[in-house]
A and B are shown apart, each in its own frame.
Chain A
Amino acid sequence: GNSVTQMEGPVTLSEEAFLTINCTYTATGYPSLFWYVQYPGEGLQLLLKATKADDKGSNKGFEATYRKETTSFHLEKGSVQVSDSAVYFCALRADSGGYNKLIFGAGTRLAVHP
């Protein structure tokens, strides 16, 4: 079946450090891939997405590239800020009949210190 695996947290970084959160997936066909972010006490917000191989999603300095050959969608940011502290979820949507059924990874908590 479809699944998403992402690196365990917490990830603790100093401000302006480089961020990578690894995400790999298992799925048949060509799923769409997403990164969502959850701030304390809030629901999830879409951070970025990619719908086909080699697509790069980007938003607010975050980037992720859909790599079909390695079934990966790693999240990166060149210089993190304290305000980026949150939980990040990688997710996929199956390419047929998936509609709005997302399969999420376990989430990675990021803590950024001044």
Chain B
Amino acid sequence: KAGVTQTPRYLIKTRGQQVTLSCSPISGHRSVSWYQQTPGQGLQFLFEYFSETQRNKGNFPGRFSGRQFSNSRSEMNVSTLELGDSALYLCASSSPGGTNEKLFFGSGTQLSVL
């Protein structure tokens, strides 16, 4: 069974641009969560989607948004990039039932903002 797949693996952008990251969950998983990992702030929850609906959101500005498609694949978008958005963005999926506690993480997308 394939794991959680995130693309691209690395991304370099400049300030003011926008970026879209993609996450394909494990087959059959309906929940997809996104986390930002930085050396200074550690791992912080961005948002979670379940059956195409956002059901939980962290404390990030509106520049950070996401969506989930009917096949459970998810994208997150960051508009008007700032230097502080440089981070590893991790996606995680979980099994049907929605509240299962085991999250399966992808290897992440390393975003560098210049």
Contact = CB atoms under 8 A, between A and B. Distances in A.
Given A43-B90, A45-B105, A46-B103, A99 B56 contact: yes
Interface string A74-114: 00000000000000010101000111111111110000000
A16 to B, nearest CB: 29
A42 B56 contact: no
A43 B106 contact: yes
Interface size class of B (residues with CB under 8 A): 20 to 34
B95 to A, nearest CB: 11
Chain B interface, >50% SS class: strand
Contacts of A46: 102-103
A22 interface: no
A102 B103 contact: yes
Nearest to A44: B105
